[in-house]
Amino acid sequence: KAGVTQTPRYLIKTRGQQVTLSCSPISGHRSVSWYQQTPGQGLQFLFEYFSETQRNKGNFPGRFSGRQFSNSRSEMNVSTLELGDSALYLCASSLQLEDGQYFGPGTRLTVL
Amino acid sequence: AQSVAQPEDQVNVAEGNPLTVKCTYSVSGNPYLFWYVQYPNRGLQFLLKYITGDNLVKGSYGFEAEFNKSQTSFHLKKPSALVSDSALYFCAVRDNAGKSTFGDGTTLTVKP
């Protein structure tokens, strides 16, 4: 089976712009979660989707949003980018809640 | 609110010696507990999980973890460490609404 894929792998944006990141989960996985990883804050949970429904959301401002499509692919969007949004954004998928998550390689976002 | 604590930023072990990476957690209800590993320049990988049942769970690469409900701990262990085990280890808890919380990570260094 192919692993979790994320596109693009690298992005450079300027403050005020918006960005859309994409994630394709492992085939058959219906749960997709997004995380922000930074050296100072570690791994922070953004949101989790299951069968196109957002079931939970972390403590991030409304500028961070996401969605999941019927084929389980997911996108996350960040609007009005700030310098502090520079981070590695990780997507992870799992079959069910009680299963381990499989992580993609991440999208490295740099905001200038 | 759920939380995960990894009290040691760094653990140093000699090759061949047993290793323990500590984790304590706080969550409402029955926890889903996980360990993940991040090797240098590679993505996060699922190691093992505890859902219910035996308190000692076995995972990949010879790792195991001991669940202790009274101490709310889920320590990662390996009887004999390898230099190739050197990596960053994360403990995580997931609730039944899909929200995941990760610890800050522990860097394991195994010296020959």
Task: Quote the CA–CA distance of A48 and A97 in Å, as a whole number.
Answer: 10
Confidence of residue B88 (pLDDT cuts 50, 70, 90): very high
CB contact under 8 A, B97 and A104: no
Confidence of residue B31 (pLDDT cuts 50, 70, 90): confident
Kindly report, residue by residue over A31-45, the tens digit of the pLDDT.
999 999 998 888 999
Kindly report, residue by residue over B51-85, the tens digit of the pLDDT.
888 899 999 999 999 999 999 999 999 999 999 99
Give me the pLDDT at residue B83, please.
Answer: 96
Determine contact: B58 vs chain A, CB below 8 A.
Answer: no
CATH number where B36 lies: 2.60.40.10
Give me the pLDDT at residue A48, please.
Answer: 93
What is the count of structural domains for chain B? 1
Kindly report, residue by residue over A12-33, the tens digit of the pLDDT.
999 999 999 999 999 999 999 9
Chain A CB contacts of B48 below 8 Å:
100
Task: Quote the CA–CA distance of A79 and A59 in Å, as a whole number.
Answer: 16
Give me the pLDDT at residue A40, please.
Answer: 80
Give me the pLDDT at residue B58, please.
Answer: 94
Determine contact: A95 vs chain B, CB below 8 A.
Answer: no
